[in-house]
Amino acid sequence: MQNVELVTHDFQPVYDKQSRILMLGTMPSPKSREVGFYYGHPRNRFWKVVSDVCGEEIPVTREDKIAFSLRNHIAVWDVLAGCEIRGADDSSIRNPVANDMNLILRRADIRAIFATGSKAAQLYRRYCYPETGIEIICLPSTSPANCTVSYEKLYEAYSVITQYLKD
């Protein structure tokens, strides 16, 4: 069993003033921290499903993922700036410290906020919603740990983002 460790979020949020949706995870996994970017585990389905929904090739490099996100008006960040956590187990999170969502909300045309999993939605509702007043839409986790949700179900759920990306 892995030990609980204090983890601080090191990635900058991906967004610009044209960003229309904000996709929020909980906290970067050990694999994401190792590769230095969001949804970095090779079996995480986030980049595949979002690129498929947007009708584009899957971005591979960090730079490709940033360019893809900005081109498609998608901001990417996490709810937490830091916490104590055991590995990638969101259920083990203790002493969470939330990111200030206004960093993005004051600078971008965000029309909807999405959680990429129920723990991110729960933490957002508890720590961020009182400040933002913006409801969050919970999507299924793309984590390899959430293998009970088929790719087809993920695609169907994530397709909702397209209505917020259109002019």
pLDDT digits (tens, 9 = 90+) for 43-59: 999 999 999 999 999 99
Number of domains, the chain: 1
The domain spanning residue 152 has which CATH number?
3.40.470.10
- Rounded CA separation 119/114 (Å): 12
Long-range (24+ apart) CB contacts under 8 A made by 129-136 are 131/100, 131/101, 131/102, 132/101, 132/102, 132/105, 134/105, 134/110, 136/24
Q: What is the pTM for the complete model shown? A: 0.94
Residue 111: strand, helix, or coil = coil
Domain limits at 69?
A: 4-165
Strands 4-8 and 80-86: antiparallel
Over residues 122-159, the pLDDT tens digits come to 999 999 999 999 999 999 999 888 888 999 999 999 99
Burial degree of 28 (CB within 10 A; 0-12, 13-18, 19+): buried
Q: How many residues does the chain have?
A: 167
